[in-house]
Structure formats: structure tokens, C-alpha cells
Amino acid sequence: MDKLQVFEEKQGYLKQGLNAKDLAKSFGSNASYLSKVVNTFKEKNFTSYINDLRIDFVVTKLKEDRIFRKYTVKAIAQDIGFNNAEAFAKAFYKKTGIYPSYFIKELEKR
């Protein structure tokens, strides 16, 4: 749990190509144990855990950074570790109930 907290604080979840096996290895553990810890303490699977961290991060960054809002959805997706815009948009919608493009348009209206 301590290593996960440090991982979150250092925004390690923004790394592209992140997977449970490599993260567990960097913790000196294995993917099965890491998955079990995430399932138990975060109450979600590893992919949902990482995606939720990324979406929370991007929501805050979009609210605070006007320049970041000008990026394409694809560029934002790559910047926060997603492989493509579609995966990002799906994860964003799952977490927030709206698509990133709509969220950005609404922010721009303010």
C-alpha cells in the first residue's frame, strides 16, 4: 500500500504502456499480489484503478490549464498514458458520464 501511495503521488500512472506485471516488478512483487491488493483495497481491478487515476488527473488539469484544453483529444490521451483517443474517451465517459470533448467545450464556455 505504501508503494502504491508513492506511485500515485509521483503520478506513475501517467506512464504509457503501464501494466501490472512491470509495476509489480518495480515494487519487488508479482502481478498476482499487486492485483489482489488493488482489488481488495481500491475495490477495482488494475485497469480500472489506473484509468480512474488518469481521469481524475486529467479532469483537474483541464480545469486548471487553459493551454492543455486546446490539445486534441488524441494528444491529451497520449499525454496521460492512454494508447489511443478511443480508450481515453471510453474511460472518461465511464468515470464522468460525459465525453472529454463535451467536458472541454463546457469548460471553454466559462
Q: Mean pLDDT across the chain, nearest whole number? A: 96
Q: What is the pLDDT of residue 57?
A: 98
Percent of the chain with pLDDT over 90: 98
Q: What is the mean pLDDT of residues 1-22?
A: 95
Q: What is the pLDDT of residue 86?
A: 97
Q: What are phi and psi of 96, to 5 degrees?
A: -110, -20
Segment 47-101, tens digit of pLDDT:
999 999 999 999 999 999 999 999 999 999 999 999 999 999 999 999 999 999 9
Taking residue 92's Cβ as centre, other Cβ atoms within 10 Å add up to: 25
The answer to whether residue 110 scores a pLDDT higher than 90 is no
Q: What is the pLDDT of residue 66?
A: 95
Which residues fall within 8 angstroms of residue 17, CB to CB, at 6 or more apart?
81, 83
Q: What is the pLDDT of residue 40?
A: 96
